[in-house]
Amino acid sequence: MKISLKLALLCAATMFIRPSENSYALDNNSTSIKPYDKNPWYWQYHEKPVILRGGSNDDNPYQWEKEDLIKELDLLASVGGNYIRNTMSDRDEGNIYAFKKVGERTYDLYEWNEEYWNRLTVFLEETSKRDIIVQLTLWDQFDLGGSRWDHHPWNPERNVNMETGIWRDREDFYSTVDRNAQDELAFQKKYIDQLLSISLEYDNVLYNINNESSESIAWENFWANYVKNSAHKAGNKVCVTNMQLSATNAVRIVMSHGDLYDYVDISQINQDSKGARGPAHWDYLMFLRQKIASFGPIPMNNVKIYGATDGNKNYSAGSETEAIDRFWRDIFAGCASARFHRPSSPDRPWGSGLNERVQTNLKALGMFLKKFDIFAATPHNDLLSPRVSVPLMMEAYTIANIGHQYAIYFPQGRYKIDLDPWVFAEKLKLQWLDINDLQWSEPEIVEVQWDGSKHDWGFRGLITLETPSNRQCLALLEIIE
């Protein structure tokens, strides 16, 4: 949705001025994406709480031709997706640059390639029409790495505006803030000003400074300030974060600079090499959630869940089955978003994109959210106890609104666990969701078995749950008596 703005971006100050104690007081449109008023672990959009979930087959879809883009967005929306990643990247085959080409291999940094910005406008317009939230990344370091630097307009040898040698490589480009190189920063600001003059017209955009940042905190904070001041001058409020190559560092930076950052992206938790698998992945999520809770609840986003076709050779990313389990663990851990990472190449796949298996799980999540009030619930694996001789082999993940609803996700396999509803309850309604078949079982009534008496030490209630098959599934229980 477009929002009314009076853009004054060219002279945006570099120090962020916090507008008021109510951080969204300047938001002229209450429909904008922002932390949920009643539970800031989550987002709200159009004044309603929303779980962001999705997958897509590229990380810079703004570069796509309109016809292909619309097909992808329609498919995403049709399976219940409402969340997409967009890096302002230009390194893939067929991508175009932001600047006007004035020679065989040279560009003018003062002149725009209008098609580039038209594509961004179309992308934001089409996502807005479908209520799809865009997590937009300003800078992608990989665009300027290695041989890509030799051909990029930012290379002084490839533009008519800068003296050769001012920027020798990507390290020079990303050191402008640390060096206080104002003449060089002016070119970068001009690009961001043009980007914001378009993106700030839309209320479905979340901002991320850098992709898998290895830049200085000064660089990250400078651009966070710049974006927020630009929005402030336009009478608006936007949400900003920065993505680190470590989920732990992402949380540390957000907690260290809480006046700048409104949410945290912990995507790197969702891969084998820098994250974890199985129960260790859940424990890592709980560890980060605990740290954030001490700071004050803010949304935890996962714009990338790694893991691709089972049997692939990319041991850094992990398998597709693990990616799907990570998707559900992220949701059951109280995260605000979960999106499957794009596939990159057949020989080294990083993600699953929006393939059929992803589509099925997005549909299943939609079915679950229709029955379960996730915005009133919190992660609660403390309610579970395994009924096996080797507890570490048991996988089950719980989110609950104690006294009302309980949901348990089971990965593929045979599992048997006990759930303690904690409150004094006698009967609950149980339904199983077969995720792959997209079918709910018929409701059944289960009774709580009480261990001991109310006056004994260790008195507890037990509901024994055994998965109906070895297929991926979830159980939903609701107290009725």
Q: What is the pLDDT along the chain (481 residues), one digit of tens a residue?
A: 554 443 333 333 333 333 333 344 434 457 899 999 999 999 999 999 999 999 999 999 999 999 999 999 999 999 999 999 999 999 998 999 999 999 998 999 999 999 999 999 999 999 999 999 999 999 998 999 989 999 999 999 999 999 999 999 999 999 999 999 999 999 999 999 999 999 999 999 999 999 998 899 999 999 999 999 999 999 899 999 999 999 999 999 999 999 999 999 999 999 999 999 999 999 999 999 999 999 999 999 999 999 987 766 688 899 999 999 999 999 999 999 999 999 977 777 899 999 999 999 999 999 999 999 999 999 999 999 876 654 556 799 999 999 999 999 999 998 999 999 999 899 999 999 999 999 999 999 999 998 777 667 667 889 999 999 999 999 999 999 7
Tokens of 460: 């507890």
CATH at residue 147? 3.20.20.80
Domain end marker among 358, 375, 392: 375
Residue 232 forms part of a structural domain: yes
Domain end marker among 375, 408, 439: 375
398 shares a domain with 335: no
393 shares a domain with 290: no
CATH at residue 407? 2.60.40
Q: Which structural domain, as residue segments, surrounds residue 199?
A: 34-375
283 shares a domain with 418: no
355 shares a domain with 456: no
364 shares a domain with 397: no
384 shares a domain with 366: no
Residue 22 forms part of a structural domain: no
192 shares a domain with 171: yes
Sequential DSSP letters for 248-285 = HHHHHHHHHTTTT-S-EE-GGGGSTTTS--HHHHHHHH
How far apart CA 316 and CA 308 sit, in angstroms, is 11
Residue 7 forms part of a structural domain: no
The label of the residue with tokens 């002279």 reads 11
Residue 8 forms part of a structural domain: no
Tell me how far CA of residue 282 lies from CA of 213, 216, 340, 357, in angstroms. 24, 30, 17, 22
395 shares a domain with 345: no
Residue 24 forms part of a structural domain: no
64-94 burial: b if 16+ Cβ within 10 Å, else e: beeeebeebbeebbebbbbbbbbbbbbbeee
Rg (CA), the chain: 24
Residue 402 forms part of a structural domain: yes
Domain end marker among 342, 375, 408: 375
355 shares a domain with 424: no
pLDDT of residue 458: 65
pLDDT of residue 31: 86
How far apart CA 94 and CA 63 sit, in angstroms, is 8
Q: How many domains does the chain have?
A: 2
468 shares a domain with 345: no
pLDDT of residue 344: 77
How far apart CA 107 and CA 256 sit, in angstroms, is 39
247 shares a domain with 305: yes
Residue 28 forms part of a structural domain: no
Residue 26 forms part of a structural domain: no
383 shares a domain with 292: no
